[in-house]
Structure 1
Amino acid sequence: MIVTLSETLDFRDFVLLDAHNSETAFLDNLKKRFTEDLIYTYIGTLLISVNPYKELDIYTKKQMDLYMGVNFFELPPHIYALADNVYHTMLSEANNNFILISGESGAGKTEASKKILQYYAVSCPSSTLLDTVRDRMLMSNPVLEAFGNAKTMKNDNSSRFGKYMDIQFDCQGDAVGGHILSYLLEKSRVVHQNHGERNFHIFYQLVEGGEEDLLRHLGLEKDTKRYKSHSPGECSNVSSINDKNDWKTVKNALSVIDFDANDIEHLFGIIASVLHLGNVHFDGDTKGYATLNTNAALRWVSKIEAKSEEVKLVLSPFTVDHAIYARDALAKAIYGRAFTWLVNRINESLENKDSGRKTVIGLLDIYGFEVFSVNSFEQFCINYCNEKLQQLFIQLTLKAEQEEYEAEGIGWEPVQFFNNKIICDLVEEKHRGIISVLDEECMRPGDATDLTFLDKLEEKMGNHPHFVTYKLADKKTRKSLERGDFRLLHYAGEVTYCVVGKRRRKNTSQMSVNLRNMFSGFQNLLFYMIYSFSIGFIDKNNDLLYKNIKDVSALGVATQFKNSLLRLTEILTAKEAWYVRCLKSNDNKQPGKFDEVLVRHQVKYLGLMEHLRVRRAGFAYRRRYEVFLKRYKALCPATWPHWKGVPSDGVEKLVQHLGYQPDEYKMGKTKIFIRYARTLFATEDAFEISTKIETCWRGVQARKERDRRAWAVKIIKQLVIIS
């Protein structure tokens, strides 16, 4: 009988595609599963998720119950299976774990993160205190989405900031707290959006869903088109978004997270002030200075009153362009600092004050690789972040895996892969990288321009294989470049960045001294705290401090972002890694459509084929001999209850007793390596059976002891009566 390729596909784990190691077979399997609404597939323990752009009935409470406590490969691939396996690994090994969710914008990263969080909320033990913690964790999602997500051309609910969340568990496996770190909020969206895009959701939710009394108090009208900060996108209404319903969800979520009514009122007052700022318009006088053509919008902004009864009027001779820049810088600063304050308040509500030992599961949902028709500073930072995460993936799953086999004396055939360290160095290297050059140019006197920044880049890295400009390009490439552009050859593909506006305005993002000084006079304590906390004036007890303001101001935005990424990398490398790779099925958000060219590109740049080859050539599981022996020693008479010899000898006795075949495992210098997941799961099943038998035996013994004592008490009572 002849079996065709199509008949052998539909594998739930790509590692099982032994006869078909090609990219074509990989894509065929993905596509076949996708057409049957099977959007999840494994590569070992790595989960691939393909966005179907439609609702699937696979996230019910019944589905959650089905996956609780079940071995990873017993049921079809699912986000719940991964979440459950991470949870039980954390419990059994008492170590910290993290789940890295990656993929392009619109691939489904945020939804995957929400599904994992919802699973833990349902599956973990319950009590009144724990329910409060879990409710706050869940309710943090709609709040952060409202203030940090927006509609883009690629995604109606795109995260415009990066989020890392630690979920803290006690030794019983109860979720007892959490902590959120946020990265690089896209503040420029507050004042400008590309055509077909929107500002952050909260602005539309407030205007469309806000109660009449609240809107009247804030000076707002139920018409988002009246606010010029929304005008560039010309996309206020989106069929997939219900701003009125989302407003109710956010207000309820804020109360669950323990925001009081006063804070909520002031918070929305600040959001309204940003809307009014966008309507402040300038005209030029005969001398070229900016003048206000109307002060109606400014009057609403100034409802945040000064502390002093004496109002000082400061006149600054700005040009119209300079005045617009100052206005926009103020709006971005207010919103950015409000977001920082919001995250800190959520963290306060999630904080666990118990000093007992805790383990954590981290969730990293961070912006995907972005390529637009015009790519500016934000895309540069976002794509640099993706380079760093790809480098981490390489270090933890490809490079480290091969180095471990070598260190343990395990023979195998090395897998070739592209190491993107060369690109990370191009961006972040001290004194030579793009970010260092950008900071140098920002600190130069007034003669420095965006184009002198580009000249400096060409001077320092003109021979780099991943960097090209109009001046450095050959004739063919030059046709696709402007004189103010530079192009980076990222691991995920080529991206051309526009230099104009990148140097001073976006990397420094500083307000004028007059605007900074103005904040010290605000009576609204929340507004004052929002501004002060984010630049280091105030600690948790609201005590005034002075924490190196000059140093904070001197650091460019890109350098601050680079430093925060380095700290994030340190956090992640201290934990055991798990991966969800999200893929877009098509660029048009069309249900059921599988664009093979687009998916192939994502498979290639996410390194999925290299990961598959490593998993095939390597071993699914490895543990130190002491840990393996401690867990499974009860399965072998020779190792139970105590093995007195060398741990490696005990493990060898144990696996021989269990019937491991020579091709199923290897003995390293300090660890046992098990090639197939099925081998480990058979061992785990035997362990669970033995544990149940032991539990039953203990129960029987306990009942016997209880009956014996009851019988003894009965006899004693009878003797007492007789006597």
Structure 2
Amino acid sequence: MTLCSGPSSDNSFEQFIINYCNEKLQQIFIELTLKEEQEEYIREDIEWTHIDYFNNAIICDLIENNTNGILAMLDEECLRPGTVTDDTFLEKLNQVCATHQHFESRMSRCSRFLNDTSLPHSCFRIQHYAGKVLYQVEGFVDKNNDLLYRDLSQAMWRAGHALIQSLFPEGNPTKINLKRPPTAGSQFKASVATLMKNLQTKNPNYIRCIKPNDKKAAHIFSEALVCHQIRYLGLLENVRVRRAGYAFRQAYEPCLERYKMLCTQTWPRWRGPARAGVEVLFRELEIPVEEYSFGRSKIFIRNPRTLFKLEDLRKQRLEDLATLIQKIYRGWKRRTHFLLMRRSQIVVAAWFRRYAQQKRYQQTKRSALVIQSYIRGWKARKILRELKHQKRCEEAATTIAAYWHGTQARRELKRLKEEARRKHAVAVIWAYWLGLKVRREYRKFFRANPGKKIYEFTIQRIMQKYFLDLKSTMPSLSPVDKNWPPRPYLFLDSAHKELKRIFHLWRCKKYRDQFTDQQKLIYEEKLEASELFKDKKALYPSSVGQPFQGAYLEINKNPKYKKLKDAIDEKIIIAEVVNKINRANGKSTSRIFLLTNNNLLLADQKSGQIKSEVPLVDVTKVSMSSQNDGFFAIHLKEGSEAASKGDFLFSSDHLIEMATKLYRTTLSQTRQKLNIEISDEFLVQFRQDKVCVKFVQGSQKNGSVPTCKRKNNRLLEVAVP
């Protein structure tokens, strides 16, 4: 920011308004640096010696005052009826501003009985902050008048061309204004006011440039010129304020939150006020008292070395805390593993003891049943033997009686024999009945269906051995590993296949659980690209192994794109340099391709200026070929403002990624799927002309880079390898 003036009285109206803008910029510099710096010290109740500096508000008031300012008087002269000349304007300045300490003219100097021959009759001089500047009043009134008549503006608006209409908006019939057009000075004053209002909302950084000499030559240093620039740029006052002040300031709450870990009294939690905590912290760290001061709401640190020391201590403390957290976590992890193993051992031991007791009980029970059955069988056999013995005794008695009684006893003997046979039959039937009853009652205690039980036991043993062998031959946890141990028996085929399917699903889930949210998003985009381009676009296989980065240009870090970054308020999804194809001759121009959540922007690669801005709702289709090239066309909605120049034709090395991200972003914003057409011939709209883009096989001069050539007015041929 340098005050511009000529060595003589050649400065006219243009130089006057330029110097007025420099005065306003110098004023905002004073407000935002010197004045605000000292007011903050006073506001925070910090001991401070006030430093005087020159405030150029009086010069700005001389120029822009609404009643008696130079611009106001110039507008009044332009609007006044009658004969108006530059001399009448100078006479009015001499009448109103004659007593102003920063205004000089030949008449005002003579009124003060001063004879200044350096002031011509048709000039006036203003004492600016950088020095005195002489202005030639000739041409002020004519240059301040706006000679663009309303009829001319309306005639240019009726041309119908979009560019001409944008240059003459005041000719719009719907915005007819009967007031007289504002003067050039008023327009410039309004523009400067808008600039000042915008700068007041920002946090600007100032760069002071000092010219070492007026010859623009190397190795020449003019001390007088440099000292003069240092004085009128206000650098001496700024340096004095900075050297007498503090290098770093911060509110108590964030300061305590950042450095509380360095003090045992404030870590991990401070219960009192934030200022008291900061005082305790600095006292325990033994920082010299002259290195800091306590304000009402902030702490002020004088020397940067003190701040660097705090940062070094904090970094060392963070490493110690990280080591402590790691130690506690490892102890907790080992302790948790030990307790889990201990509980598992208790459960296994309990189940084993239960199994042993059940097995011992079943063996004892079977032995008791066998003994009981043997005892009952022995009793039944004893009864049968007694019955047989009784029978033999009776038969013997009958035989003896028969021999003794003789013939008289034969009939009685026959009766007795018949009775004995009946008793014998009864005894046999009774014995069989008792045996049948005993067998029916104790059949459930004897082993039944031994073949089925042996089969079940054999199957159980086979399955146990199968699972143990499968455990020792289990394949890796990689989802792409297709190895699987063979089955030992044919009847296990269905179970073997089901186990293989379950294991594959499980290890796929384990593999997916390792992904972060960012990795999941990347693979989702890769999956979307596979669904859109696999087996359709020849370029797709080469893009599978390349990660989708999106932001290939470091716009936030590169100062070259600061203007572009400030113009975009949304999150940038894609930032890539593409080649924009001119449909008139097939030549390409480098452009920055930017994709945000709502818009698609094209900016100049060298200057960073935005050339085109297209809302995503106006994008209807993306066309490309099936060949191994990076050409693609973006079709716009007919009738939209962005489609006034027609569709866009680009060439990019990241075609698959750009098309996929554009498809996903459009779907999330408009809830409609973007149409992606893959064909070796498609049409693009260029103003009122439709051009066919055709892809053909051909030899390449520049390796594998496709080339474009305009064949006729309606054909754009692309040669691909």
Q: TM-score, normalised by structure 1?
A: 0.43
Structure number with greater CO (CA < 8 Å, separation at least 6) is 1
Structure label with greater radius of gyration = 2
